[in-house]
């Protein structure tokens, strides 16, 4: 059964930059009836799963009163997603070393910089392989590259780091698919380096 976040994403259809059309609350009928707002923004409030992943905007100007008339997504929220990571996974990852710099005390990084996989955003469905240890410096760099990748639709080219190949799978362009990150250096630096060995 789909969650309310999944239902809204299905209805709103955000693009690869996390931007959707304005969705009128009158559309919350039929299979989307569960989305009807009760007290306040309910499933779309600032502490919700949706608002942790996207910038959620509301419009109350169409009808009288203080009710929400329309909702849209206006890009990805680059805030702290660590609260969406299982405590056990955090414990295991933080005991490892940064996969880029080899330093200790790393941050827990979502490999998928799009953060568009509903399964990975649910603690109970997460796998250890969805995450990796990155130092703050490496994670900050990845965050900037991922932001540019989402904005431009062009994946980070590892040749900028001096590697002989750009990606170990896929090409430069993406359309925001759930697996769009796979093959990028930043998605999994260790896996990327394994493919360098295979090429030689």
Per-residue pLDDT, 150: 86
DSSP readout, 64-127?
SSS---EEEEEEE--S--GGGS-HHHHHHHHTS--TTT--SS-EEEES-TT---TTTTSGGG--
Would you tell me how many other CB atoms lie within 10 Å of the CB of residue 31? 11
Instruction: State the Cα angle at 58 between 57 and 62, rounded to 5°.
Output: 145
What is the pLDDT at residue 53? Answer: 83
Distance from C-alpha of 13 to C-alpha of 101, rounded to nearest angstrom = 38
Pair 158, 192: CB distance under 8 Å: yes
pLDDT of residue 74: 85
* Radius of gyration, alpha carbons of the chain: 19
In angstroms, the CA 7 to CA 32 distance is 7
Domain ranges of the chain: 4-76, 82-199
Intervals of the chain under pLDDT 70: 39, 78-84, 198-200
Place of tokens 């059309």: 21
Is the dihedral angle over the CA atoms 112, 116, 121, 127 positive or is it negative? negative
Contact between residue 106 and residue 134 where contact means Cβ atoms under 8 Å apart: yes
At residue 185, the pLDDT reads 98
pLDDT tens digit sequence for 116-166: 777 887 778 899 999 999 999 999 999 899 989 988 999 999 999 999 999
pTM: 0.61
pLDDT of residue 91: 94
CA nearest 171: which of 160, 157, 159, 161? 157
What pLDDT was estimated at residue 200?
52
DSSP 134: E
Cα 196 to Cα 168: distance, rounded to the nearest angstrom: 8
């Amino acid at each position: 059964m789909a969650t309310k976040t999944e239902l809204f994403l299905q209805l709103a259809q955000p693009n690869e930059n996390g931007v959707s059309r304005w969705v009128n609350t009158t559309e919350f009928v039929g299979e989307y009836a569960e989305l009807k707002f009760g007290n306040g923004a309910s499933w779309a409030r600032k502490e919700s799963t949706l608002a942790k992943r996207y910038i959620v905007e509301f419009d109350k100007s169409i009808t009288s009163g203080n009710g929400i008339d329309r909702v849209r997504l206006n890009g990805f929220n680059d805030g702290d997603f660590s609260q969406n990571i299982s405590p056990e996974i955090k414990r295991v990852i933080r005991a490892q070393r940064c996969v880029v710099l080899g330093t200790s005390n790393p941050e827990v990084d979502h490999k998928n910089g799009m953060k568009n996989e509903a399964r990975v955003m649910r603690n109970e469905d997460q796998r250890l392989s969805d995450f990796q240890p990155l130092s703050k410096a490496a994670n900050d760099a990845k965050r900037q590259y991922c932001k540019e990748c989402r904005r431009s639709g062009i994946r980070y080219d590892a040749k900028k780091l001096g590697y002989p190949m750009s990606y170990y799978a896929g090409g430069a362009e993406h359309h925001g698919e759930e697996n769009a990150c796979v093959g990028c250096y930043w998605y999994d630096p260790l896996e990327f380096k394994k493919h360098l060995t295979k090429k030689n």
